[in-house]
Structure 1
Amino acid sequence: MLQQVFRAYIGSFRDLRREVWLLAFITFVNRAGTMVIPFLSLYLTKNRGFSLEEVGWILTFFGLGSVAGSWLGGKLVDRIGHYRTMALSLLISGLFFIFLQFPTSFWGICTGIFFVMLVADAFRPAVFVAINAYSKPENRTRSVTLIRLAINLGFSAGPAVGGLIIAGAGYSGLFWVDGITCILAGFLLLKLLHPKRAFENPKEILLLPKSMIKDKPYLVFIGAMILFGFVFLQYFSTMPLYYASVHFLSEFNIGVLLGLNGFLIFLFEMPLIKYLESKARSPLFHIITGTILVGLSFLLINLTGWVGILLVAMIFLTLGEMIAFPFSNSFALKRAEGGKQGSYMALYSIAFSTGHIFGHNSGMQLIDKFGYAVTWNIMIFLSVVSCALVFYSWFLVKKEREEAAVDFKRSKASSK
């Protein structure tokens, strides 16, 4: 039995190109050092002495930088290509992460975090386009999943090691490790990957608008992802504060709980995605399922004060994340084939960057004024709205294809 499970797990990784594996390895090295972000709210409150309101505004600059970086990355991809954009982002952001430990004033930290994210998040649309360039069309969702596995494997180790670094060397060690690993990832990219190895995907006849601005199903989908990101990102800003202040977890325990998210994704996401792909469902159906699970994780936390519910809620969150993110990436990449890929994927990245702008700050302000229970209820409501928007996008896509089929029949009939 165990041997069959192991073979099925290994089989889910087959047929992925060498370049996709190299891209995943580079992403893992980069993500393994990203220890600052999960502990940022704790660092700002406990080490720098900022209030929750001030932390909320600092995280708003984090989001502004992320939005600007995603936009910049999309423009750079369309101009200089995904390869150069990724290399520049990794190398320069590594230096910026190291320097981020030195500002002490409120505006100094706001400025520093803005420029760090401006450069670091230029990587995001570039890596999405790289996945599309290096993977076969039939393996696109699993290629996305492999990159996510690399991210989450690094994330599972990062927070746990980060908690140990804080205990032993203080918060400054996190900035050094983060910066050095970004620079190392940049050199690995230049050494191991080459743009000429990109796979020439066959051109497909796609029923897509030429302009992204006119792509209504995609824009509705982006609106849903903004709300989903708003909700999901609470687990990496306000939720650690909830763990510490309500359940009195230490930094190390918080790191282990957050690390469990990445560990579970590493074990189960690829087989789960391969299984779901075999069901011939729309990617939007899976996105709805994932969004519901994430909303349920907040509902579970509000049901009881038992500390064990944090573990159960993390499992629900992880299941929702494992389902929603790969299929949302895949849907965005498919729509991007009809226009400028950098711009399409930049907007997809901006959707989650917008969550950084409003999600962290709003979460902090809501907790400060109304407490955790009300804040989690609001997250549940936003999850429901996000599901409704995804369903509407699904309806628009179906209508789009039906209209295209009618036009095709009419053109075929007139040609006769």
Structure 2
Amino acid sequence: MKRLLKLYLNTFDGLSREVWWLALITLINRAGTMVIPFLSLYLTEDLEFSPSTVGSIMAAFGLGSVVGSWLGGKLTDKIGYYKIMVFSLFVSGLLFVLLQYLKTVLSLSIGIFVLMLVADMFRPAMFVALSAYSKPENKTRSVTLIRLAINLGFSAGPAIGGLIIAGLGYNGLFWVDGITCILATLLLIQLLNPKKSKVLDEVKVEEPYSAYKDKAFIIFLFALFLFGVMFLQYFSTMPIYYRDSHFLTEPEIGLLLGANGFFIFLLEMPLIKWLENTRFNKVILIWFGALLTSLSLLILNFTTWSGILIIGMFLMTVGEMIAFPFANAFALQQAKKGNQGEYMALYSIAFSFAHIFGHKAGLESVSVYGFDNTWYIFTAVGVLCMFLLLILKQFLKAKNIIS
């Protein structure tokens, strides 16, 4: 047991102190945004809005995320990642507190749009900071550590949020969200001040290449969007499938979804460490992750046995563990030849668009075509993603670009 623990801990060797601090700040920030999973409940229960009205308000959520990611990338290239991260964390903390005082559809739509705009400015800035604080050979594992922090934060946040709602109501949730964002800001100022931090990979490009003209990166973004649309079915359509087709209870659904975070925490870093030492390049590894995720949906139509749900969840989780870290590492690699903020903003925006269209497309498909056909449709989306990744591989090979 001690040997296994030592081997597991060794997979974290070589990561810089700054990357660990960034992971801690990300953990606090993500655990602190616990109002987000409860937002639709708050709008329907406390404010008594109809589901249709809530859908309109939540559209502002996705739009704010897209604009915030784009703006964060632009400003990161102009004034630096540190200032953007401090601004985003601190101001979003204040906005979380103020959001509870907005009660009309218009004010909430504007408030949520502005909140997500400010909050998601953090993402491209954080990715650029991560790149600066990581040695080139450690970037994929550094990304994986940040993913672990995000997953732990998202796991702990809703659990803590439920207790806060039970004890203090939704108003208490907004206050705690705001305070944790401000606490993360103070930690960022104390621990990652540029005067104290050690930059390991500072990239200065004299004539930066535009991300919008980078054909390889554009192909990659389309593939990433398709992967995101397919992957997000596990967080909107799939829970309904578990309930309606396999008659799982809410605790059983929670355990099945929770297994995803547990497997990631336990296996992702050792898996990435091992894959980094294989001969496979990043694009092929992303392709394999997309293959496993596509299969996780397809096999659901093979049998009515409920055990297939566990197999599907495991395939999706392994696919996610492979695809996301290497996709992020590929984006950071491409960003070295241009304005890094611009590249990482587009990377974030690809997922924001997947959120806008993925959930809606899955739920509409189920209502029109049923679950079985929906899984075939999104398996086809996964196959299209894999096809684009093969085109990307050939394009990079023709250009003699190492991926």
Structure 2 distance, partners of 1:356, 1:234, is 10
How many angstroms apart in 2 are the aligned matches of 1:306 and 1:46? 36
Deviation track 1:263-311 (CA, whole Å, cap 9, x = no partner) reads 2211111111000000031101111111122222323444455555444
Q: How big is the shift at 1:369?
A: 3.7
Runs of 4 or more off by more than 6 Å in structure 1?
A: 202-205
Give the structure 2 partner of residue 289 of structure 1: 288
Whole-Å separation in 2 of the counterparts to 1:267 and 1:141: 17
Q: Name 2:190's counterpart in structure 1.
A: 191
Deviates more, 1:41-50 or 1:111-120: 41-50
Q: Where does residue 355 of structure 1 map in the other structure?
A: 354
Residue 101 of structure 2 is aligned to residue 95 of structure 1: no
Q: Give 1:235's aligned amino acid.
A: Y
> What letter matches 1:199 in structure 2?
V
CA 1:142–1:382 in structure 2 vs 1: closer, same or farther (change >3 Å)? Answer: same
Deviation at 1:144, TM superposition (A): 0.8
Q: Secondary structure at the match of 1:195?
A: coil
- Pick closer, same or farther for the CA change 1:136–1:224 going to 2, 3 Å: same
CA drift at 1:23:
0.6
| Shift of residue 103, structure 1, vs aligned partner | 3.8
* Alpha-carbon distance in 2 for matches of 1:64, 1:113: 10
1:112 aligns with 2:116: no
Q: Which moved more, 1:102-111 or 1:288-297?
A: 102-111
1:270 counterpart letter in structure 2: M
Alpha-carbon displacement from aligned partner over 1:31-88 (angstroms, at most 9, x marks no partner) = 1223233344555556655555544443332211111010011011011111111111
Please tell me the residue identity of whatever aligns with 1:5.
Answer: L
Distance 1:243 1:347 in 2: 34
- Return the letter of the residue paired with 1:111: I
The change in CA–CA distance for 1:88 and 1:238 in structure 2 (over 3 A counts) is farther
> Cα–Cα, structure 1 residues 195 and 228, in superposed 2: closer, same or farther, change >3 Å?
same
The equivalent of 1:398 in structure 2 is: 397
State the SS of the aligned residue for 1:339.
coil
Residue type matched to 1:391 in 2? L
Report the CA distance between 1:230 and its aligned residue: 1.7
After superposition, where does 1:44-193 map in structure 2 within 5 Å? 44=43, 53-166=52-165, 169-193=168-192
Separation (CA, whole Å) in 2 of partners of 1:244 and 1:97 = 33
Separation in 2, partners of 1:204, 1:183: 31
For residues 259 and 379 of structure 1, the distance between their equivalents in structure 2, rounded to whole angstroms, comes to 23
2:400 aligns to what SS in structure 1?
helix
Q: Which moved more, 1:68-77 or 1:29-38?
A: 29-38
Name the structure 2 match of 1:410: none
Comparing 303-312 with 215-224, greater Cα deviation is found at 303-312
Where structure 2 has 5 or more consecutive residues not aligned to the other structure, the ranges are: none
In the alignment, the residues of structure 2 paired with residue 94 and residue 308 of structure 1 have an alpha-carbon distance, to the nearest angstrom, of: 43
- Report the Cα offset of residue 19 of structure 1: 0.7
- The CA RMSD over aligned residues, in Å, is 2.8
Contact 1:156 1:261 in 2 (8 A): no
Q: Match for 1:137: what amino acid?
A: P
Distance 1:204 1:93, change over 3 A: closer
User: Partner letter of residue 157 of structure 2?
Assistant: G
Which stretches in structure 1 are left out of the alignment for 5+ residues? 405-416
Q: Distance in 2 between matches of 1:248 and 1:95?
A: 40
- Please report how far the alpha carbon of residue 227 of structure 1 lies from its aligned counterpart in structure 2 after TM superposition: 1.2
CA distance in 2, matches of 1:261, 1:96: 31
1:213 is matched with: 212
Percentage of identical aligned residues: 56
Report the alpha carbon displacement of residue 200 of structure 1 after superposing the two structures with TM: 4.2
1:297-312 equivalences in 2 (<5 Å): 297-304=296-303, 308-312=307-311
Asked whether the equivalents of residues 134 and 200 of structure 2 are also in contact (C-alpha less than 8 Å), the reply is no
* CA apart distance, 1:167: 5.1
Which deviates more from structure 2 when the two are superposed, residues 276-285 or residues 374-383? 374-383
Q: From the superposition, tell whether residues 393 and 8 of structure 1 become closer, same or farther in structure 2 (CA, over 3 Å).
A: same
Is contact 2:43-2:49 (8 Å) kept? yes
Q: Secondary structure of 2:263's partner? A: helix
Indicate the residue corresponding to 1:409 in structure 2: none
Distance of 1:79 and 1:400 partners within structure 2:
30
Distance 1:148 1:162, change over 3 A: same
Q: Distance in 2 between matches of 1:213 and 1:279?
A: 31
Distance 1:204 1:174, change over 3 A: closer
Question: 2: CA distance between counterparts of 1:49 and 1:392?
Answer: 49
How high is the TM-score relative to the length of structure 2? 0.89
The alpha carbon displacement at 1:146 in A equals 0.9
Q: Determine if contact 2:69/2:123 at 8 Å carries over to the other structure.
A: yes
Could you say if the C-alpha distance between residues 201 and 53 of structure 1 is closer, same or farther in structure 2, counting changes exceeding 3 Å? same
Match of 2:249?
249
Aligned to 1:414: none
Work out the CA distance in 2 between the residues paired with 1:244 and 1:52.
Answer: 20
- In 2, the alpha carbon distance for the partners of 1:134 and 1:332 equals 16
Cα deviation code 1:350-385 (max 9, x no counterpart): 100111222233334334444444433322221111
User: Contact (CA 8 Å) 1:60, 1:360: kept in 2 or not?
Assistant: no
Distance, in Å, in 1 between the alignment partners of 2:304 and 2:162 is: 25
**Any idea what SS the aligned residue of 1:266 has?**
helix
**Cα distance change of structure 1 residues 209 and 342 upon mapping to structure 2, 3 Å threshold:** closer
Q: 1:385 to 1:44 in 2, by over 3 A?
A: farther
CA distance in 1, matches of 2:284, 2:169: 45
**What TM-score do the two structures reach when normalised by structure 1?**
0.86
User: Offset of 1:262 from its aligned partner?
Assistant: 2.3
